[in-house]
Amino acid sequence: MPGDGRQRIDKWLWFARLTKTRTLAQKLALSGRVRINREKVEAVSQLVKPDDVITIAGDRGVRVLKVAAPGTRRGPAPEAQLLYQDLSPPQAPAEADAAVDRPPGTGRPTKRDRRAVDKLRTGDSDDFPLKHG
């Protein structure tokens, strides 16, 4: 690592635990979805320094991070979170959360409902005897 507090973007992304592997960090940096101070990253060797703003456009939204320090190792998550300040805009609630608030009787049947349907199909219900006797 250079002595002036600069670090390669791929290494910093990996140290900050934004990717699982350094190879994935390199691929992310070269994908065109990472910007440093509004400039698109052209090479994984591009350097970041404290107070740089990194913008990452991902599948789940945009993350805006302000570099607080260069990393020295890939440590635990609390240590990695000290490398940046998250400036990302708040995300809208996911659509999956809306499914939880659906009215009763819609969506997948409950186990009780499935058993009732099975009883109707097989004729094992006491409410509707099929045999006369």
For 83-117, what is each residue's pLDDT tens digit? 999 998 887 666 555 556 767 767 788 898 889 88
Q: Is residue 76 part of a domain?
A: yes
Q: Is residue 123 part of a domain?
A: no
pTM for the full predicted model = 0.67
The CATH number of the domain holding residue 12 is 3.10.290.10
Q: Is residue 14 part of a domain?
A: yes
Q: Is residue 129 part of a domain?
A: no
3-state secondary structure 61-124: EEEEEEECCCCCCCCCHHHHHHHEEECCCCCCCCHHHHHHCCCCCCCCCCHHHHHHHHHHHHCC
Q: Token pair for residue 106?
A: 């819609």
Q: Is residue 50 part of a domain?
A: yes
Tally of structural domains, the chain: 1
Evaluate whether 19 touches 28 at the Cβ level (below 8 Å): yes
Domain that residue 20 falls in: 7-89
Q: Is residue 19 part of a domain?
A: yes
The pLDDT assigned to 125 comes to: 55
For 38-69, what is each residue's pLDDT tens digit? 999 999 999 999 999 999 998 888 999 999 99
